[in-house]
């Protein structure tokens, strides 16, 4: 169910953008119990200057290689699950790419289960669809 948007500077090309895509998905599987085949992501690459970020916020410094990840997902995950998700995404990005843990910004937007159609024009996750 999540719809993931990854905003990257153009300077971050594959294989790093592929790693970020994989890492975000695996963290959703591990921390949010998302099914492994429930993967819907959009990567948008931006010219220099089109990702705008303060040099420092909350004591964390940001470089020109900052990455924004926005995840629209179903509501109901606990704060602990969300903290686990953030830690997993950022830990893996920092371990597997040259992107700093400081440069991964994540935002969740929650949208209820009836607000999704996964093909064929059906609301597969709507309460009425699940009851059937």
∠ at Cα 102 (43, 18), nearest 5°? 30
Distance, in Å, from the CA atom of 63 to the CA atom of 99, rounded to the nearest integer, reads 9
Distance, in Å, from the CA atom of 98 to the CA atom of 65, rounded to the nearest integer, reads 9
Contact predicate 64/9, CB 8 Å: yes
Distance, in Å, from the CA atom of 106 to the CA atom of 22, rounded to the nearest integer, reads 15
Q: Quick check: 10 binds its own copies (CB under 8 A)?
A: no
Q: Shortest distance, CB of residue 78 to its own copies, whole angstroms? A: 9
Q: Write the binding mask 69 to 88 for its own copies: x where contact by CB under 8 A, - elsewhere.
A: -x-x------x--xx--xxx
Q: Write the binding mask 28 to 67 for its own copies: x where contact by CB under 8 A, - elsewhere.
A: -------xxxxxxxxxxxx--xxxxxxxxxx-x-x-----
∠ at Cα 79 (25, 9), nearest 5°? 40
Q: Quick check: 115 binds its own copies (CB under 8 A)?
A: yes
Q: Quick check: 13 binds its own copies (CB under 8 A)?
A: no
Q: Shortest distance, CB of residue 68 to its own copies, whole angstroms? A: 6
Size of the site for its own copies (CB under 8 A): 68
| Torsion on CA atoms 113, 82, 22, 105, rounded to nearest 10 | 110
Distance, in Å, from the CA atom of 46 to the CA atom of 50, rounded to the nearest integer, reads 6
Which CB atom, from 30 or from 114, has the smaller least distance to its own copies? 114
Residues that bind its own copies (CB under 8 A): 3, 7, 14, 18, 21, 25, 35-46, 49-58, 60, 62, 68, 70, 72, 79, 82-83, 86-91, 101-112, 114-124, 126-128
């Amino acid at each position: 169910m999540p719809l993931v948007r990854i905003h990257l500077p153009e300077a971050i090309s594959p294989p790093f953008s592929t790693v970020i895509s994989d890492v975000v998905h695996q963290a959703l599987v591990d921390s949010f119990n998302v099914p492994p085949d429930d993967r819907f992501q959009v990567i948008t690459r931006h010219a220099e200057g089109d990702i705008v970020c303060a040099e420092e916020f909350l004591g964390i410094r940001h470089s020109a290689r900052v990455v924004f990840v926005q995840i629209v997902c179903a509501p109901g995950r606990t704060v602990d699950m969300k903290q686990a998700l953030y830690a997993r995404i950022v830990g893996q990005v920092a371990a597997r790419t040259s992107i700093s843990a400081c440069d991964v910004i994540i935002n969740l937007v929650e949208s209820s289960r009836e607000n999704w159609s996964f093909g064929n024009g059906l609301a597969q996750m709507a309460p009425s669809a699940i009851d059937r």
